């Protein structure tokens, strides 16, 4: 029985594995190479005909064949959402060198985040129901459509029985999953957690619903330039799909087994605007408070932050509000601390993107390079931060903060610290 000793120092939590499925390819090195290339992964959407909608661009995961990564029977029993979650977790475990079968699996859990879950597959099955009748519908639909299937399928894949949940808090989901998983390890309820975000929204109705509310860019003739964080000509986000799953682990345990360590998670904060379903508070007050709570949790002062990976969704309302939030949270250093918004590279995968950006932040600390803010060409006076552009910036850093803000006014921030025991 594991009993928390109040006299002991708090348990430290590190990232010891990264599994990534993004529009740049499979594996975190493909994601990193895509960032280093300076080329956007956004293209004209060809998964289906987007012509009925205002927006025709997206960041797709191409050349992903489930049977290349899963046994055929297992692959058949999952939808695209499930494939992404399980395969990303398998890559994370392999990257970490974690042999789950040899571990106490009651001490390993899974926490995931997703805005839409398997709703895209439900859309496909409903179309089949209308055209061919109820007998044509996949009998496993009920097991794939709910968001909780992400963490449940990860748990089933590894046979783990520790803490398990999937939250659906919009674009903050992945970040919140990682933050809550960190808390489970800190509290002694788990030693290892699979944590991250997954999204498979590139289906006509899912995609079109965001087009209907005019949230997405209509820069259809120049897809690679459509996502423009902090740029004066930004006109909306670009939808993406994929997953990132991290292996989070109690630090001493990870060091003892010689695991790669990409960075330490040291702080987490979350708040709610409580004001509007789609528009953030324009003063950035609650987003700033989430950042401050994360820093307080990390026992760090604002001046100790070396890098901010911004949510930077490329929407007209979000980017100025986040600018004010960063300024309010960091005070005087906000004018000089390097900031980047990476969605110009990989698009916005809703609930998965926060996990992507935490992985990117950890790699940035680990490899001493800040990704540029792609397509930032005409600076907006309302977004007057020290945004990194061009080819990125080589810089030694110790502390980064990664922000995620979602529909409904959900705000989440994670603070990471460079780890001396590096991969």
- pLDDT class of 5 with cuts at 50, 70, 90: low
The answer to whether residues 217 and 204 touch, using CB atoms and an 8 Å cutoff, is no
List Cβ neighbours of 383 (8 Å cut-off, separation of 6 or more). Answer: 230, 319, 320, 323
Q: Which CATH superfamily is domain 13-256 in?
A: Thiolase/Chalcone synthase (3.40.47.10)
Given 28, 345, 346, 348, which residue is catalytic? 348
Strands 338-340 vs 386-387: parallel, antiparallel or unpaired:
parallel
Predicted pLDDT of residue 420: 73
* pLDDT(268) > 50: yes
Scored b (16 or more CB within 10 A) or e, 294-305 reads bbebbebebeeb
pLDDT per residue as tens digits for the range 196-211:
999 999 999 999 999 9
The answer to whether residues 176 and 122 touch, using CB atoms and an 8 Å cutoff, is no
Predicted pLDDT of residue 1: 41
Given 56, 311, 345, 346, which residue is catalytic? 311
- pLDDT class of 421 with cuts at 50, 70, 90: low
Predicted pLDDT of residue 419: 86
Phi-psi domain of 385 (left: phi exceeds 0; alpha: psi -120 through 50; beta: other): beta
Catalytic (active site) residue 206: no
CA-CA distance, 270 to 252, in Å (whole number)? 27
Predicted pLDDT of residue 117: 96
Q: Which CATH superfamily is domain 266-417 in?
A: Thiolase/Chalcone synthase (3.40.47.10)
φ and ψ at residue 362, rounded to 5 degrees: -65, -45
pLDDT per residue as tens digits for the range 71-111:
999 999 999 999 999 999 999 999 999 999 999 999 999 99
Name the token pair of 338: 């390097």
Q: Which helix (H) or strand (E) holds 50?
A: none
pLDDT per residue as tens digits for the range 18-58:
999 999 999 999 999 999 999 999 999 999 999 999 999 99
Largest CA distance in the chain: 64
Predicted pLDDT of residue 8: 62
CA-CA distance, 34 to 128, in Å (whole number)? 37
CA-CA distance, 143 to 139, in Å (whole number)? 9
Strands, DSSP E only, in 77-235?
Answer: 108-113, 164-167, 192-199
Strand partners of residue 413: 269, 403
Average pLDDT in the chain: 96
- Where do you find CATH 3.40.47.10 in the chain? 13-256, 266-417
Given 28, 56, 152, 171, which residue is catalytic? 171
Catalytic (active site) residue 387: no
Catalytic (active site) residue 383: no
Predicted pLDDT of residue 422: 54
**Environment class of 401 (CB within 10 Å of its CB; exposed 0-12, middle 13-18, buried 19+):** buried
Which of 1-5, 41-45, 350-354, 411-415 shows the lowest mean pLDDT across its residues? 1-5
The terminus-to-terminus CA distance of the chain in angstroms comes to 32
For the chain, what percent of residues have pLDDT higher than 90?
96
* pLDDT(4) > 80: no
- Rg (alpha carbons) of the chain, rounded to whole number: 20
Strand partners of residue 250: 13
């Amino acid at each position: 029985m594991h009993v928390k000793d109040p006299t002991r120092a708090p348990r430290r939590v590190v990232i010891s594995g990264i599994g990534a499925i993004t529009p740049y390819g499979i594996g975190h090195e493909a994601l990193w190479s895509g960032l280093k290339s300076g080329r956007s992964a956004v293209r004209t959407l060809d998964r289906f005909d987007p012509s009925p909608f205002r927006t025709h661009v997206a960041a797709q995961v191409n050349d992903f064949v489930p049977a290349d990564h899963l046994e055929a029977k297992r692959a058949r029993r999952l939808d695209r959402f499930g494939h992404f979650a399980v395969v990303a977790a398998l890559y994370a475990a392999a990257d970490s060198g974690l042999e789950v079968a040899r571990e106490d699996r009651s001490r390993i859990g899974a926490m995931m985040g997703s805005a839409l879950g398997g709703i895209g597959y439900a859309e496909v099955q409903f179309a089949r129901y209308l055209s061919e009748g109820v007998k044509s519908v996949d009998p496993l639909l009920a097991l794939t459509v709910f968001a909780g299937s992400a963490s449940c399928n990860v748990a089933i894949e590894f046979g783990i029985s520790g803490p398990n949940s999937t939250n659906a808090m919009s674009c903050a989901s992945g970040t919140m999953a990682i933050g809550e998983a960190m808390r489970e390890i800190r509290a002694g309820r788990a030693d290892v957690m699979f944590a991250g975000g997954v999204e498979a929204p590139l289906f006509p109705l899912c995609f079109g619903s965001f087009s209907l509310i005019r949230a997405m860019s209509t820069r259809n003739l120049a897809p690679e330039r459509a996502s423009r964080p902090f740029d004066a000509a930004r006109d909306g986000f670009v939808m993406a799909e994929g997953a990132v799953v991290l292996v989070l682990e109690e630090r001493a345990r990870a060091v003892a087994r010689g695991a790669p360590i990409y960075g330490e998670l040291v702080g987490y904060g979350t708040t709610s605007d409580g004001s509007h379903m789609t528009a953030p508070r324009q003063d950035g007050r609650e987003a700033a408070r989430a950042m401050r709570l994360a820093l307080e949790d990390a026992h760090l002062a604002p001046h100790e932050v070396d890098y901010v990976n911004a949510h930077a969704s490329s929407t007209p309302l979000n980017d100025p509000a986040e600018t004010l939030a960063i300024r309010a949270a960091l005070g005087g250093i906000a004018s000089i601390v390097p900031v980047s918004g990476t969605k110009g590279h990989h698009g916005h995968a809703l609930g998965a993107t926060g996990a992507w950006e935490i992985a990117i932040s950890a790699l940035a600390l680990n490899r001493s390079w800040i990704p540029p803010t792609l397509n930032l060409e005409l600076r907006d006076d309302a977004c007057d931060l020290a945004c990194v552009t061009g080819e990125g910036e080589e810089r030694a850093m110790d502390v980064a903060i990664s922000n995620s803000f979602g529909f409904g006014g959900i705000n989440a921030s994670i603070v990471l610290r460079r780890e001396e025991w590096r991969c």
